[in-house]
């Protein structure tokens, strides 16, 4: 399973809406495995979406289990759709596709997400806190939305990263 190359802004694929997965066939399952391998190869990485590898298909991987926070472990979803949001919080976010910046972004505190797991089975996950933020961030990638699109002000809420990942 190869570690995939990450595209960075302003690559045009980062602004495109990804296509729905019709079924989790071997091609999609292989991409899911490659995304997991890529996530694990990047220290500190907690989420990745297929468009960040220039694959315009609705697949995300999130794993915040290395952090001390409530989580579902490794989350691998095709066609993730957030069906419920609760609460609000503003927190700092970074992105592999915008490696030199972080920003203050408003997100829901708790979400419920539906999608297909790596076996093509329909699942529903409840996420809160940091995991909820990571899932929302990755689902945004599937719609061509970057965290800089969610800040109140580019001038006051986006900062140059002071250290590399």
Domain regions of the chain by residue span: 12-160
Low-confidence ranges of the chain (pLDDT < 70): 1, 163-165
* Architecture in CATH for domain 12-160: Alpha-Beta Complex (3.90)
User: What per-residue confidence (pLDDT) applies to 62?
Assistant: 98
Separation CA 50–CA 148 (nearest Å): 19
- Quick one: which of 85, 102, 80 has its CA closest to 146? 102
Looking at residue 164, its pLDDT comes to: 55
**pLDDT (0 to 100) of residue 16:** 98
User: So what's the pLDDT on residue 53?
Assistant: 97
Bridge partners, residue 93, by sequence: 103
Say if residues 73 and 129 touch (Cβ distance below 8 Å). Answer: no
Q: Is 138 a catalytic residue?
A: yes
The DSSP letter of residue 155 is H
**Separation between Cα atoms, residue 52 and residue 142, nearest integer Å:** 9
């Amino acid at each position: 399973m190869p570690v995939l190359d990450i595209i960075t802004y302003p690559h045009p694929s980062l602004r495109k809406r990804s296509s729905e997965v019709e079924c989790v066939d071997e091609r999609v399952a292989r991409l899911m495995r490659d995304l997991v391998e890529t996530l694990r190869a990047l220290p500190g990485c907690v989420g990745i979406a297929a468009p960040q590898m220039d694959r315009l298909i609705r697949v995300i991987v999130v794993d915040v289990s290395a952090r001390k926070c409530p989580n579902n472990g490794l989350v691998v979803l095709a066609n993730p759709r957030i069906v419920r949001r609760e609460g609000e919080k503003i927190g700092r976010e970074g992105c592999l596709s915008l490696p030199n910046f972080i920003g203050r972004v408003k997100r829901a505190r708790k979400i419920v997400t539906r999608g297909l797991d790596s076996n093509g089975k329909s699942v529903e996950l409840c996420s809160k806190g940091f995991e909820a933020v990571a899932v929302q961030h990755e689902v945004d990638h599937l719609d061509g939305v970057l965290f800089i699109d969610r800040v109140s002000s580019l001038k006051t809420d986006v900062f140059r990263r002071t250290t590399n990942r």
